[in-house]
Amino acid sequence: MNIHKVYGLFVPFFRRRRMRRFVHTFKPTMDTRILDVGGGVLNWELIGSDSHTTILNLSVPTDPSSFPRNFAFAKGDGTSLDYPDNSFDIAYSNSVIEHLSTFENQLRFANEIRRIAGSVWVQTPAKSFFIEPHLITPFIHFFPTIWQRHLLRNFTVWGLITRPSPSHIDRFLHEVRFLTFEEMQTLFPDCIIFRERFLLFTKAYIAIRYTTPGTVGAAAITPKNDLHMSIDRNSISRE
In 3-state terms, the chain is what percent helix, strand and coil (to 5)? 40, 25, 35
Q: Are residues 120 and 19 in the same domain?
A: yes
Helix (H) or strand (E) holding 205: strand 201-209
Per-residue pLDDT of the chain (239 residues; tens, 9 = 90+): 677 777 767 777 888 999 999 999 999 999 999 999 999 999 999 999 999 999 999 999 989 889 999 999 999 999 999 999 999 999 999 999 999 999 999 999 999 999 999 999 999 999 999 999 999 999 999 999 999 999 999 999 999 999 999 999 999 999 999 999 999 999 999 999 999 999 889 999 999 999 876 555 444 555 556 555 555 545 433 33
Q: Are residues 130 and 141 in the same domain?
A: no
Instruction: Please state, as a whole number, how many other Cβ atoms lie within 10 Å of the Cβ of residue 65.
Output: 6
Q: Are residues 43 and 85 in the same domain?
A: yes
Number of domains in the chain: 2
Give residue 228's pLDDT.
58
Q: Are residues 104 and 207 in the same domain?
A: yes
Q: Final residue of a domain: which of 175, 194, 225?
A: 175
Full residue range of the structural domain in which residue 89 is found: 3-134+177-238
For the segment 178-195, what is each residue's pLDDT rounded down to a tens digit? 999 999 999 999 999 999
Tell me which residue of 86, 82, 89, 76 sits closest to 37, measured CA to CA: 76
Q: Are residues 149 and 230 in the same domain?
A: no
